[in-house]
Amino acid sequence: MLSGAPSDVLAGACGYRTEIASWRGPTLLASLVPLTSGRLMFKADQDIPDTLSITVPRIVDGFDWMPDENDYLHPLAKMGQELVVRVIVTSALTNVEYVTVRGRYQIQDVEEQTPGLVTVAASGMLQVVADDKLPTPTVPRTGGTFFSEFRRLMPSGLGVAIDPSLTDRACPQSLAWSEDRLAALQSLAEAMPALLRNDATGQAMLRAPLADNPTPVITISDGEISPTNKYPVLVGKTQKQTREGVYNYWVVHGTSTDDPTRPPVSGSAIQTTGPFAVDPQGFRTRLAFFASPLLTTDAQCQLAAQTRLRNGLRLAAVVPITMAPDPRLELDDAARVRSGLRSDGSWGFDTIGYVVGGELPLTIDDGAMRLDVGVG
């Protein structure tokens, strides 16, 4: 969870606004982009997890916010311009302002869909990685490790943060990275295992795998509403997604690439409990395979198999939530979700999951926040 206004401020009457600045490299092009409406979207199972969509008035104080194709220094031109998003919540009681930095986004498309309004689509900074292909296949440096290769493969100008709980190890020397820079970084993250994300400043980071029994950072209860809050919490029914991508049996293979005389290595993970257990009367067996030359021991393969199993099943059962905007919530936050309050004070549905997707409105007129919590 990001820093920002505490829950008691968000639950009551408060001011809510978004400030967006435009940068091109180290140059500030506009400290405040005018905003008519906008939403931040985030989804865990996408290569580029974060996207931004905003609408701005075309003419403000005589300035045209629709860029000319030849004006590479226009604040909304798609010539490497990046938008830094901050959400500011102001307490009505104390007038204290709480700032939540919501990331950095590179502009991808700009058009005037409606006369007088300019629509801008931007993507999180992993889009920069995806676009910056390696000119030729490359091999790890001599003595290179997972951490050093991750930093080396990152495009120039993008920072890197690595969770200190992750363990570094030597990178096999007999493999080669393809021209797909993002795929190379993802393969390193998967083999550690780790989660590849952008942080609030836009830099790339490697997060530790999600814990099986997390401590929730927020509790979301169905029906909660304050006298001044027009968006009550609505917890939907658990939505099971399609069987595509949902497996309850993973087998992971590795290769001892620097010692071809050693036998192949492998590991597996099977779901044995719950509705997705390997059981002829339940979800039945769905087997998936994964192989990586970065995995060189059975223990590494076993850990990778367990991580893939858990991450996939979290997406198999998702609770959709509609609620008042909370700019602090982000991907991978652990949330306790409750609905169906009984007369004895207990809840019919009470579980802990992880945020796997959502949409954050950027103005008070953009409606409620949507949140998806994976509880599979």
Architecture of the domain defined by 242-314: 2-Layer Sandwich (3.30)
Dihedral of alpha carbons 313, 45, 199, 145, sign: positive
Q: Write down the pLDDT at residue 260.
A: 64
Measured distance CA(330)–CA(40) in Å, rounded: 11
Domain with CATH 2.30.300.10 in the chain: 7-128+210-239+317-374
Residues linked to residue 204 through DSSP beta bridges, in sequence order = 160, 198
Q: Write down the pLDDT at residue 307.
A: 87
Q: Write down the pLDDT at residue 331.
A: 95
Q: Write down the pLDDT at residue 285.
A: 76
CATH superfamily of this structure's domain 7-128+210-239+317-374: Baseplate protein-like domain - beta roll fold (2.30.300.10)
Out of 3.30.1240, 3.60.90, 3.55.50, 3.40.50, the CATH code matching 133-207 is 3.55.50
Measured distance CA(41)–CA(85) in Å, rounded: 13
Ramachandran sector of residue 173 (left: φ over 0; alpha: ψ -120 to 50; beta: rest)? alpha
Residue 146 neighbours by CB under 8 Å, 6+ apart: 168, 169, 171, 188, 191, 192, 294
Residue 331 in tokens: 């991907």
Global confidence as pTM: 0.88
Residue pLDDT tens, the chain, 376 long = 999 999 888 887 889 999 999 999 999 999 999 999 999 999 998 999 999 999 999 999 999 999 998 899 999 999 999 999 999 999 988 999 999 999 999 999 999 989 999 999 999 999 999 999 999 888 899 999 999 999 999 998 899 999 999 999 999 887 888 899 999 999 999 999 999 999 999 999 999 999 888 899 999 988 765 545 567 788 887 665 556 667 888 889 887 555 666 777 888 888 887 777 787 656 677 777 888 888 888 888 888 888 888 888 887 788 999 998 999 999 999 999 998 888 888 888 899 999 999 999 999 899 899 999 998 7
Instruction: Give, in degrees to the nearest 5, the angle at Cα 335 between 331 and 336.
Output: 165
Q: Write down the pLDDT at residue 1.
A: 93
